[in-house]
Structure 1
Amino acid sequence: MRLLLLIILLGILVAVGYFAYSAMSVGGDPIPTEGYVALALGAGFSVVVGVGLMMLLFPSSRRGYDEPPHFK
């Protein structure tokens, strides 16, 4: 079973490497400045949302909001 899992994971790794290499070797015009700005803003917004959700998760867990309901 472990061998099958290892083979599947290595296959996925090879596929990801192939697609990454093929994406980087595509010819064309370089990304304009507006594209880099949009990329930076999108990545920054994703980090802010992730940090905000994690900040909400910890107090919620400590106060017991994530526990299943207890009916009397």
Structure 2
Amino acid sequence: MRSLSVGQAILIVALCAMLALAVVGIVWAWNASNGVDDVAMDENGWIALGLGSFFSLVIGCGLMALMFFSSRRGYDEAADPFRKKEPR
């Protein structure tokens, strides 16, 4: 097992600090919004939230599938007929 270099250790510490700050911010926002009773979402809001989440997931998965399909079929190769193909 390799030991970490100083730069890698600094990067890991910085990323963990950013993750901790994001979690603290999320918890703060969650607690700040729980005390507000004026904002309520009716069933139309929940339906819109569900449909928006569902279709966002469908579009994301569809685009990822198209990307993998395009890469496997060779559609991403260069269009220059004089360029030599690199061996894989």
* TM-score (normalizing by structure 1): 0.70
Larger Rg: 2
Distance 1:52 1:5, change over 3 A: closer
Question: What TM-score do the two structures reach when normalised by structure 2?
Answer: 0.61
Give 3-state SS (helix, strand or coil) of 1:21's partner: helix
**What number of residue pairs does the alignment pair up?**
71
Q: Which runs of 4+ in 1 moved over 6 A?
A: none
1:55 to 41, 65, 69: 65
The answer for the alignment partner of 1:25 in structure 2 is 35
* One-letter amino acid matched to 1:62: R
Give the drift of 1:36: 1.4
Structure 1 residues 15, 65: CA separation in 2 closer, same or farther (over 3 Å shift)?
same
The alignment-based identity, stated in percent, is 37
In the alignment, structure 2 segments of 5+ residues that lack a partner are 1-9, 83-88
Do the aligned partners of residues 18 and 60 (structure 1) sit closer, same or farther apart at CA in structure 2, a change above 3 Å counting? same
Q: Structure 1: which 5+ residue stretches go unaligned?
A: none
Distance across 2 between alignment mates of 1:4 and 1:55: 33
1:42 matches 2:52: yes
| Distance in 1 between residues matched to 2:14 and 2:50, nearest whole Å | 39
